[in-house]
Structure 1
């Protein structure tokens, strides 16, 4: 079973109403059906999300963690539906953007809207799938990552700009983990932990395996998406690779991995140079914004010299994928 937005919506309804009966009525489903759905969700996540009491349903500690992640996702979906309905009646061309997961997305879309462009977003864990959609004319631009050691299959005719030549991947772990006391952690510090990896991300599983082999460790690995990973990290169940722009929170600590053994290249692709140039500056600004808000990543950028200046990417596109890395400005 894979968790879907409807499952998260059901959890929020149960928490908000404090009752399976009232939640079922709010959702327009039968109570036995909602009870069965809840049991399946709890089985998938590995623990009870609510305690059933005479006075109603109360979230367990795990339930509070999951709800903390579910509520913004449900809210985002509502906003997405509202925006899609609005966009459906907006006259004029729309900008069709494809993207893998990135914390720079929100700022990028916000900047494009401020320029009176109405972006339509297509998310996918597979950068290769997005590049195929771009080549087929289903998208106008695609913001993707290329996992080190697993080159993307770039269709002929696409133009590319490199946002970051090598973005190091960090690790997210429970805040009370002994390794969280350090600013950077060794893979050997995490050799006895369970790791969660999303094998549906192009090149991710192969790269993580290579990283473990190079470090001489063989930890237990669970397969799952990274939203689930965040919930399990919060309860101390797993650790996981994460983007360096992932911010610390009361339930997650983000740390650099010693030696930066895993990296990705961040690319913006389009069919024409004009399309690339029309949206790249806003993406660069949005990425800078989230990079400098992540203390660990900011220190890494300062230490490696990539924060000292803003390197301008090539004006001409390169179908082969060549390009210079963008440097992130640090304002003092």
Structure 2
């Protein structure tokens, strides 16, 4: 039997788990099947890799050698596969843009289409910043346009190049007949009795919001995490107040207002692979994205309903 990558993965899983039972669960195998596979691997390598004991298994000297090599080989092969896929999928022409939901992605598409009308522009959206970043790592996307809370790090920070497009205070979204709607800004503590609504995500924004509420002296009684359209509806009918970006577009039946002291901040980020074929266009795409952000602020609900509100720059 020739040694294969799947065999190395099996050996690494057993070493990491320290038990055939736990390793079988991780690998999705029955323990007898895993034991039989291990015996075949050991025969192919010419010796015992693991010794069973009361507390699980421990690696032999041969096992230590194989596990050490597996920890080097497996990541290297994974990186090779990702680079090959990225090289095969990337094209010299066109823009493959990935982003979380919001007006900046649409604005970026519009600006690229106007300045480079012959280029093919495709988009992919997801609530998950990590999913979009992984798409760039794997070569399925050229650029990632995502947001992160405060000073949080960007996803796949060690593998992608990231630049901050802009930094905005997080706004609160209210029904236009809400008692606080006439205010130019609102203290978070004044909203202690409200139910809240927000869109999902895989960053730390929910935790940061909860911490900001605690600092303001309350704990949110209810948070509806749902899609943008449902968030808007809940605010319009007075069922909740919402959290939104400063770039949220003007929408009938609601207004957006900054929170006093900007207790929450949202950073818009643009990312790309530094060795990808689209890297030489990153500067131009960044300029387009910053212009799209400025356009979105000008058209935002806050900008329309209260032009005197502070505006965040790039």
CA distance in 1, matches of 2:134, 2:217: 37
CA distances 1:166-205 after superposition (whole Å, capped 9, x unpaired): 3111010111111111011111221111101334342221
Q: Which runs of 5+ in 1 are unaligned?
A: 1-90, 307-325, 327-332
Q: Distance in 1 between matches of 2:298 and 2:200?
A: 29
CA deviation profile, 1:120-168 (whole Å, cap 9, x unmatched) = 101011112211111111110111111125433324332222111x311
Q: CA deviation at 1:106?
A: 2.1
CA RMSD across the alignment: 2.2
| Match for residue 124 of structure 1 among 120, 123, 126 | 126
User: Which residue of 261, 264, 278 corresponds with 1:262?
Assistant: 264
> Displacement of 1:237 after TM fit?
0.5
TM-score normalised per structure 2: 0.63
1:249 aligns with 2:255: no
- Alignment partner, residue 273 of structure 2: 271
Asked whether 1:289 is paired with 2:295, we answer yes
* Gapped regions of structure 2 (runs ≥ 5): 1-90
Residue 117 of structure 1 and its aligned partner are, at CA, apart by 2.0
Q: In terms of mean alpha carbon deviation, does 103-112 or 217-226 score higher?
A: 217-226
What is the match of residue 100 of structure 1? 100
Matches of 1:252 and 1:299 in 2, distance apart?
A: 17
Secondary structure of 1:113's match?
A: helix
Q: Which residue of 1 aligns with 2:53?
A: none
| Deviation string, structure 1 residues 9-55 (Cα, Å, up to 9, x no partner) | xxxxxxxxxxxxxxxxxxxxxxxxxxxxxxxxxxxxxxxxxxxxxxx
Distance 1:220 1:183 in 2: 25
- Kept in 1: contact 2:197–2:234 (CA 8 A): no
- 1:78 corresponding residue in structure 2: none
Partner of 1:158: 160
Structure-1 separation of matches of 2:176 and 2:243: 15
Which shows bigger deviation, 284-293 or 197-206?
197-206
Q: In 2, are the aligned partners of 1:160 and 1:276 still within 8 Å (CA)?
A: no
If you compute each CA radius of gyration, which structure gives the higher value, 1 or 2?
2
**Partner of residue 56, structure 1:** none
Find out whether 1:280 has 2:281 as its counterpart: no
Alpha-carbon distance between aligned partners in 1 of 2:208 and 2:92, rounded to the nearest angstrom: 43
Matches within 5 A, 1:300-319: 300-301=309-310, 306=313
Matched, 1:217 2:218: yes
State TM-score, norm by structure 1.
0.59
Please tell me whether the aligned partners of residues 174 and 254 of structure 2 are also in contact (alpha carbons under 8 angstroms): yes
CA distance in 2, matches of 1:279, 1:171: 30
Give, in angstroms, the shift of residue 247 of structure 1. Answer: 3.4
Q: 1-side partners of 2:98 and 2:198: how far apart?
A: 22
Residue 136 of structure 1 is aligned with which of 134, 138, 141? 138
CA distance in 1, matches of 2:104, 2:292: 5
Kindly state the Cα deviation for residue 240 of structure 1 after the two structures are TM-superposed. Answer: 0.9
SS at match of 1:137: coil
